[in-house]
Amino acid sequence: MVHGGEQFTQSCLIDARALAAIRATVPLAPLHNPQNLLGIETALALFPDLPQVAVFDTAFHQSMPEHAYRYAIPERFYREHGVRRYGFHGTSHRYVGQRAAELTGLEVGDSCWLTAHLGNGCSTCAIVDGQSRDTSMGLTPLEGLAMGTRSGDVDPNLHSHLARVLGWSLKEIDHLLNSESGLLGLSGLSNDMRSLEQARARGHRQATLAIEVFCYRLAKSLAALSCALPRLDGVIFTGGIGENSPLVRAKSVAHLGLLGLAIDNTANARCVGGVSGAINAPGHPRLLVIPTNEEKQIALDTLALLDSPAPDKDSPCRPS
């Protein structure tokens, strides 16, 4: 499930209560949650005795403190309409945070990471002792980093500016920011980082700029999220771009000298195509490439839930 609202702080077995709570989140994700619900309801009709588990992209981030998840707008929009930062990609951030602890011999419960999930959608996360403390996405997955086709952060007044200057509707502005912006919008070429890297090598000016903006914004986001950490045990790159683009990793780390980060070019070049490892220069904070595996995390949550005792009657979900 994309959105679990504030109801779901972890994965859960689907029963009537959970289904009702999931239905209540539809206004928060009107495009995605109805599709997810359709799958659940169809499977329920076809296999009524088969247990189903819901894993939420938002759940991991429910541990964010209020000063990280509230917008600076009047409280009633939060209380009455659920307007707050939720964050997404939680399954991926959680998985790579745990893997980083395993790979480095640190305890998940005593480790501090900045994670960068860079796929078609992109987000960063600050993880302290196994819990999300802040993340770059917000009420929707549009906030934060520049992405394949999403703009990420823009001045919130851009909406009224475009409406005033061009007479555009909300639907048109929505489409511009979600589907025609980001790497695609800046480059005028593609939302695929591979194509942009090839075009950059041929001297394509806009593809070059798209990569520069992408990397600078990523670095800015990581630096901002460092505010949520008491110390830094490492920065983790994951997702299609994070796992496969030495160029993006090198360019973003180059902006983060003030955090003491420095890259080892040989190790950076080696970590592609599913190869994990450390890519920091010796004596500098850890930089790790860790392939994400959301499917495995979902399977692990499912196994844990199938083995767990009956749910607390007051909770729509069982702990995973």
Query: What does the binding site for ligand AMP look like in residue numbers (CB under 6 A)?
Result: 119-120, 148, 192-194, 197, 239-241, 244-245
Q: Catalogue the active-site residues.
A: 57
Smallest separation, CB 121 to ligand AMP (Å): 7
Question: What's the min distance (Å) between Cβ of 302 and ligand AMP?
Answer: 22
For ligand AMP, the closer of residues 52 and 198 by Cβ is 198
236 is annotated as contributing to ligand binding: no
Residue of minimal Cβ distance to ligand AMP: 240
- What's the CA gap between 200 and 187, in Å, rounded? 10
Of the candidates 10, 56, 19, the one whose C-alpha atom is nearest the C-alpha of residue 40 is 19
Say whether 120 counts as a known binding-site residue: yes
Question: What is the Cα–Cα distance from 100 to 278, expressed in whole angstroms?
Answer: 10
- Residues 281 and 264 sit within 8 Å (Cβ to Cβ): yes
Cβ proximity to ligand AMP, 68 vs 247, nearer residue: 247
CB of 137 to ligand AMP, least distance (A): 14
Q: Which residue has the tokens 């930089």?
A: 287
- Return the DSSP state at 237: E
d(CA 128, CA 110): 7
Neighbouring C-alpha atoms within 13 Å toward the C-beta of 266: 2
102 is in an annotated binding site: no
Complex with ligand AMP: residue 60 or 237, whichever CB lies closer: 237
Choice between 136 and 244, CB closer to ligand AMP = 244
Compute the Cα dihedral for 127, 83, 26, 180 and give only its sign: negative
Q: How far is the CB of 272 from ligand AMP (least distance, A)?
A: 6
Please give the Cα distance from 47 to 41 (Å, whole number). Answer: 10
66 is an annotated ligand-binding site residue:
no
Q: Classify the phi-psi angles of 260: left when phi > 0, otherwise alpha if psi is within -120 to 50, otherwise beta.
A: left
203 is in an annotated binding site: no
- Nearest CA to 136 out of 149, 148, 122, 155 is that of 122
For ligand AMP, which is the closer residue by CB, 18 or 116?
A: 116
For the CB of residue 292, give the shortest distance to ligand AMP in the complex, in Å: 7
Q: Is 260 exposed, middle or buried (0-12, 13-18, 19+ CB in 10 A)?
A: exposed
Annotated binding residues: 117-121, 192-194, 240-244, 294
Annotated binding residues for ATP: 117-121, 192-194, 240-244
Annotated binding residues for Mg(2+): 294
